[in-house]
Amino acid sequence: MRNTYDTADLRSRDAAHHWHPFSDSAALATEGVRVIVRGEGVWLEDSDGNRILDGMAGLWCTQIGHGRVEIADAVHRQMSELAFYNTFFKTSHPPAIALAEKLAQLTQPHLNRVFFCNSGSEANDTVIRLARTYWDVAGKPTKKTIISRRNGYHGSTIGGASLGGMGPMHAQGGLPIPGIVHIQQPYWFGEGGDLSSHEFGLKAARGLEAVIDALGEDTIAAFIAEPIQGAGGVIIPPDSYWPEIRRICSEREILLVVDEVICGFGRLGSWFGSDHFGLKPDLMPIAKGLSSGYLPIGGVMIADRVADVVFQGGDFNHGYTYSGHPAACAAALANLEIIEREGLVDRVRDDIGPYLQARWKALGEHPLVGEARMVGLMGALELVPNKPSRKDKFEPVGQVGTLCRDISFRNGLIMRAVRDSMILSPPLVLSHGEADDLIARATKTLDETWAELKRQGRIAA
Ligand code: PXG
């Protein structure tokens, strides 16, 4: 099909009326947005007809790739039958029932109930209310504080952004809300200093124990963390980290909340990041890959031990108009069916995961790359000025990452920049040939970034 879009017209109308998330809207209006018009598999097409490899799976979510008409058909069928009804006031409908049952089957045996929301942010706001309500009903109402991590990401609502540990988000709007405490993240490359990765993993984990002791266990409701931090820069914790957190959680009376919004639904080569790291969550927020982003839907999986207590408290006074929206549930069900039928989770674990990881890690040889890391299909390249030093960073932080991201775009590959690291999280349907293509584009991008930095005199010639 020929591309018949008028990019200049779209850009000017966008600039006039569309306020973008996480953007400097004034600067963007001058620069002009890139307009994406079509998607097929791992490929996107922009309004100028350029093909771009979607190395970010939409926004960490399009597990099954773009353009799967099967999902559109399932949604069409559902909307033709029942486009909307709510799940409040003693009602339900078949797609919400079927999806809740399916999620109970796919998750660990102790997770048998889901509370539906429309996003990961809403899921995490739900987590705050559920965790505190749990302790209220359990007769321990002083247990209210939630421990989270600096540079964690849990969404952009007031609750989600407060749980998250993003400084620039806290700086706007008077966040975080009271009752949330942040500890160190397990980011060895950036914060490990002279410690080995093993030692640093233990140190970061023991920060949890130290805060529980400092504040008193009778004040702590929960600890929340992503199995691997996504938006924070694909922070893969040292091997010592999660076992130590598991030990601490088993010795202390606190809920463990594992935020699976990015790591869930096959991203790490297991159904959930909790399975990968051997974690047993009490609450488990999900979104993104649940529907591959075809329609907005999220939820919180709730452990039996939590549900059993909260049920004794009567009404849980919380919910969203679109909790369990029929069309979104139908999209999610069709998406999960594709993930299962095509064996995408095993494929990431045994086939395309190891294939891409080997090639991605080889990019670590590049003079600009201080570390190349990847688990499943989720990876990062740390760009450094003075390899092999981990201590020397580009100043000011972020410019080189943005430069590299823009060059990558021009080379037809979407990577995301976090500080000065390049992030990759492609659709799980990526073929071997597409993985080779991706690596070729990433290599070209690194070479061109390196050349540009030399030209600018920012690294020794
Ligand atoms: N938890 C985690 C772990 C996430 O990654 C959310 C919660 C919030 O989900 P919603 O659906 O409310 O966005 C997320 C979202 C980025 C980026 O630039 C990452 C997210 C969202 C937007 C941008 O990396 N993650």
Q: Separation of 157 CA from ligand 1 center, angstroms?
A: 11
CATH number at residue 336: 3.40.640.10
Give the CATH number, domain containing residue 55.
3.90.1150.10
Per the structure block, which two tokens stand in for 44? 């996107």
C-alpha triplet 72, 73, 77: angle, nearest 5°: 120
Query: 259: Cβ below 6 Å to ligand 1?
Result: yes
Q: Which structural domain, as residue segments, surrounds residue 196?
A: 70-341
Q: How close is the Cα of 154 to the center of ligand 1, in Å?
A: 6
User: Last residue of a domain, which of 315, 341, 367?
Assistant: 341
164 and 239, same domain (yes or no): yes
- Euclidean distance between CA atoms 123 and 119, whole angstroms: 6
Distance 278 CA to ligand 1 centre (A): 23
Same domain assignment for residues 154 and 141: yes
209 within some domain:
yes
* One domain for residues 210 and 282: yes
For ligand 1, the distance from its centroid to the CA atom of residue 52, given in whole angstroms, is 22
Read off the DSSP letter of residue 34.
P
Domain membership of residue 28 (yes or no) is no
Q: What are phi and psi of 36, to 5 degrees?
A: -95, 130
**Atom 16 of ligand 1, residue of closest alpha carbon:** 231
Q: Which residue has the tokens 């190891």?
A: 354
Phi, psi of 67 (to 5 degrees): 75, 25
- The candidate with the shortest Cα–Cα distance to 209, out of 178, 177, 245, 185, is 245
Please work out whether the CB of residue 151 comes within 6 Å of at least one atom of ligand 1. Answer: no
Same domain, 279 and 319: yes
Same domain, 308 and 183: yes
Q: Which of 260, 225, 220 is nearest to 148 (CA)?
A: 225
> Considering the entire predicted model, what is its pTM?
0.98
Do 247 and 167 belong to one domain? yes
Q: What is the pLDDT along the chain (461 residues), one digit of tens a residue?
A: 557 899 999 999 999 999 999 999 999 999 999 999 999 999 999 999 999 999 999 999 999 999 999 999 999 999 999 999 999 999 999 999 999 999 999 999 999 999 999 999 999 999 999 999 999 999 999 999 999 999 999 999 999 999 999 999 999 999 999 999 999 999 999 999 999 999 999 999 999 999 999 999 999 999 999 999 999 999 999 999 999 999 999 999 999 999 999 999 999 999 999 999 999 999 999 999 999 999 999 999 999 999 999 999 999 999 999 999 999 999 999 999 999 999 999 999 999 999 999 999 999 999 999 999 999 999 999 999 999 888 899 999 999 999 999 999 999 999 999 999 999 999 999 999 999 999 999 999 999 999 999 999 988 76
User: What's the number of domains the chain is made of?
Assistant: 2
Nearest residue (CA) to ligand 1, atom 20: 231
Q: Is residue 19 part of a domain?
A: no
List 220's β-bridge partners, or say none: 145
